[in-house]
Structure 1
Amino acid sequence: MDALQSWWDGLGGWQVPVRVLIIIVVATLIRLVLQFVIARVVRTIVTGVKKRQGVHDTQALAATPLAAVRIVQRTRALGGVLSSVVTTVVVIVALLLVITTISPDAAGAFSLITAAVGAGLGFGAQNIVRDTLNGIFMVIEDQFGVGDVVDLGPATGVVESVGIRVTDIRDVNGTLWHVRNGEIVRVGNLSQGWARAIIDLAVPYEVDIEDVEARILATAVTLQHDPKWRRLIIEKPEVWGIESISAEAIVIRLVVKTRTSAKDDVARELRARLKRTLDDAGIRLPALNSIVLSGYEGAGSIRGARTPKTQPVPLGEQASSSAPKDPS
């Protein structure tokens, strides 16, 4: 101890720089240790859930019970928020210690400066406080987590990260949106609970509606009993009946309750089977003037890092189909 004290006294004018260096090194080590602990806890929880469910990929959890999926997503979101909080607190404390080390008399002056700056910037800083608190409460209340497909108003897509102030959303086009948590006033989560595949099938006006509905329902029930699709369909399909009537066609609505991540896959497979069923029955679908896509259809097809597979529409075909017909 005496040797250490004599070494410290021998530093002379270098005591302040050495003390500042020690504060920076200790703060860095504390941050690294806390970040390691948070990452280790998150990894342990996620690995434990995957092991209990018998899967290795997070995407495979889509077929497991909802609780397992939510634990993984919520844990990762909380881990991101806690990492941001740890970094912010450590940096602020280290900065204060460095200032008081360089100038011991700066503590009182610093408090006065802080009060003056706080009074001057209080109105502007309330946005930062609102962003922080809103982000923390959204994660604690499990409104969404990393990997969820959400509609936040300003952006719709997959949640890639949840920070203490900003949430990153990747939309269907690949654009990464940075949404301030304080600007999120509503959350539409497409990944919680269950989803519903809704298929509106237009059939000719003169067909036997009861026969068509029976064929449609039988096709959907066959899909439900298929071993490949059985685990993705939660309840028995339902035909809700006639959705609309026009001079061109009668629209019949079929709904299938599915797991959130399987809605689009089930809908695509069911459309293909319905097409074959109607072809076998000799029912030719009427030509519709236009098809308008809106709502969550674009974001719902995202699978995290898996890019959606789309095919471009030829410009000539699109122009010819949308051009008005000559009445003559």
Structure 2
Amino acid sequence: MDGLAAWWQGLGPWQTPIEVLLIVVVAVLVRLVLQFVINRTVRSIVTGVKKKQGVEDTQALNATPLAAVRVVQRTRTLGGVLSSVVTTVIVIVAALLVITTIAPDAVGAFSLITAAIGAGLGFGAQNIVKDVLNGLFMVIEDQLGVGDVVDLGPATGVVEAVGIRVTDIRDVNGTLWHVRNGEIVRVGNLSQGWARAIIDLAVPYESDIDQVEALILATAVGMTSEAKWKRLVIEKPEVWGIESISAEAIVVRLVVKTRTSAKDEVARELRMRLKRALDDAGIKLPALNSIVLTGFEGAGSIRGARPPKTAQLPVLEKPKDES
């Protein structure tokens, strides 16, 4: 031990560069080891879920229980965030050690540096802190994950990466949006739980509504009974009835509860089959000049076979004025 200390002291002017080099090498090795552990853990969890469900491709998990999909997506997201956090922490610690090695007298000045950094965080860097904290909470609370289809307000699309400061969203046109986590005030996740395919079908005003609704429901039930579509549909299709009436047409609403990734596919197939069924029944769809069908639905228009029950509000009688 004394010989090693003597050898180290004998390096003379080379002592500081070698110490700095050792710090950098150790930091790189620690990062590689932690990165290996994170990647191995992520692969182990993802592979375990795939093996349990008997699939090889992650996309095949869309047909498996929804919890398995969320486990894979959340694991990959947490893996990416942890990798970013590990890299940031190691770089900061290594930089401080290098500065301490090169200028030992700078240790006493770290209190002033810390005060300056605190002031900077309070003013100029507060947005960065907000981005980091918001990103961590979004991942921990499972608000979104890699592969989810989300509506963040500034951008809507598929989540490609979730960093500690920025989330990357690829929209339907292929544009990659870099959204700061601190600017995300709401998250509309279209990939959690289930989705609902809503089809508003306009038929002539003079049509027999009972016959039309029976035809629509029979077509939808027949489609969802097939093996190809049965695995994508969660519940039996429902006809919610007349949505609107005009002098030209009556709009009937059909809804199908599906898996999140299958909503558009199911809706397109249903539209094609409904068109063929109406043609075979001799029902000609009217030209819509004054009817505008909207895409997004408000919470007030959602109802079905089991609408929510609410208690009646008490009616307070106005007291009579005494004469």
Matched AA of 2:108 = G
Where does structure 2 lack aligned partners over 5 or more consecutive residues? 298-323
Matched AA of 2:264 = D
What are the residue-to-residue correspondences of 1:115-134 with 2, within 5 Å? 115-134=115-134
**Kindly tell me: are residues 60 and 120 of structure 1, through their superposed partners in 2, closer, same or farther at Cα, counting changes over 3 Å?**
closer
Question: Does 1:282 find its partner at 2:282?
Answer: yes
CA distance in 1, matches of 2:54, 2:244: 45
Matched AA of 1:46 = V
TM-score normalised to structure 2 length: 0.88
CA RMSD of aligned residues (A): 1.7
| 1:302 match | none
CA shift digits 1:153-208 (9 cap, x unpaired):
11110011111111111111111111111111111000001100000001111111
**Kindly tell me: are residues 218 and 173 of structure 1, through their superposed partners in 2, closer, same or farther at Cα, counting changes over 3 Å?**
same
CA distance in 2, matches of 1:158, 1:172: 8
CA shift digits 1:116-160 (9 cap, x unpaired):
343245212221111111111111111111100000111110011
| 1:165 match | 165
Q: Contact 2:81–2:162 (CA<8 Å) still a contact in 1?
A: yes
CA distance in 1, matches of 2:226, 2:148: 27
CA distance in 1, matches of 2:285, 2:270: 16
What are the residue-to-residue correspondences of 1:169-248 with 2, within 5 Å? 169-248=169-248
Q: Contact 2:192–2:260 (CA<8 Å) still a contact in 1?
A: yes
SS at 1:228's partner residue?
Answer: helix
CA drift of 1:224 comes to: 1.4
Matched AA of 1:21 = L
SS at 1:229's partner residue?
Answer: helix
CA drift of 1:270 comes to: 0.7
**Kindly tell me: are residues 290 and 268 of structure 1, through their superposed partners in 2, closer, same or farther at Cα, counting changes over 3 Å?**
farther
TM-score normalised to structure 1 length: 0.87
Question: Does 1:13 find its partner at 2:13?
Answer: yes
CA distance in 2, matches of 1:290, 1:154: 31
Matched AA of 2:242 = I
Where does structure 1 lack aligned partners over 5 or more consecutive residues? 298-328
What are the residue-to-residue correspondences of 1:69-80 with 2, within 5 Å? 69-80=69-80
CA drift of 1:4 comes to: 3.4
CA drift of 1:248 comes to: 1.8
CA distance in 1, matches of 2:101, 2:270: 70
Matched AA of 1:103 = A
Runs ≥4 residues deviating over 4 A: 290-297
CA drift of 1:253 comes to: 0.4
CA distance in 2, matches of 1:282, 1:187: 45
Matched AA of 1:179 = V
Question: Greater CA deviation, 91-100 or 242-251?
Answer: 242-251
| 1:59 match | 59
Matched AA of 1:42 = V
CA shift digits 1:31-55 (9 cap, x unpaired):
1111111011001100110110111
Sequence identity (%) = 84
Q: Contact 2:121–2:129 (CA<8 Å) still a contact in 1?
A: no
CA distance in 2, matches of 1:291, 1:254: 17
What are the residue-to-residue correspondences of 1:252-271 with 2, within 5 Å? 252-271=252-271
CA drift of 1:293 comes to: 8.0
CA drift of 1:290 comes to: 8.3
Matched AA of 1:282 = G
| 1:311 match | none
Matched AA of 2:216 = I
**Kindly tell me: are residues 291 and 101 of structure 1, through their superposed partners in 2, closer, same or farther at Cα, counting changes over 3 Å?**
farther
Matched AA of 1:55 = V
Q: Contact 2:200–2:293 (CA<8 Å) still a contact in 1?
A: no
What are the residue-to-residue correspondences of 1:299-318 with 2, within 5 Å? none
**Kindly tell me: are residues 147 and 21 of structure 1, through their superposed partners in 2, closer, same or farther at Cα, counting changes over 3 Å?**
same
Question: Greater CA deviation, 122-131 or 212-221?
Answer: 122-131
SS at 2:37's partner residue?
Answer: helix
CA drift of 1:30 comes to: 0.5
CA drift of 1:27 comes to: 0.4
Equivalences, count: 297
SS at 1:124's partner residue?
Answer: coil
SS at 2:256's partner residue?
Answer: strand
CA distance in 1, matches of 2:162, 2:289: 43
CA drift of 1:105 comes to: 1.1
CA distance in 1, matches of 2:240, 2:112: 69
| 2:310 match | none
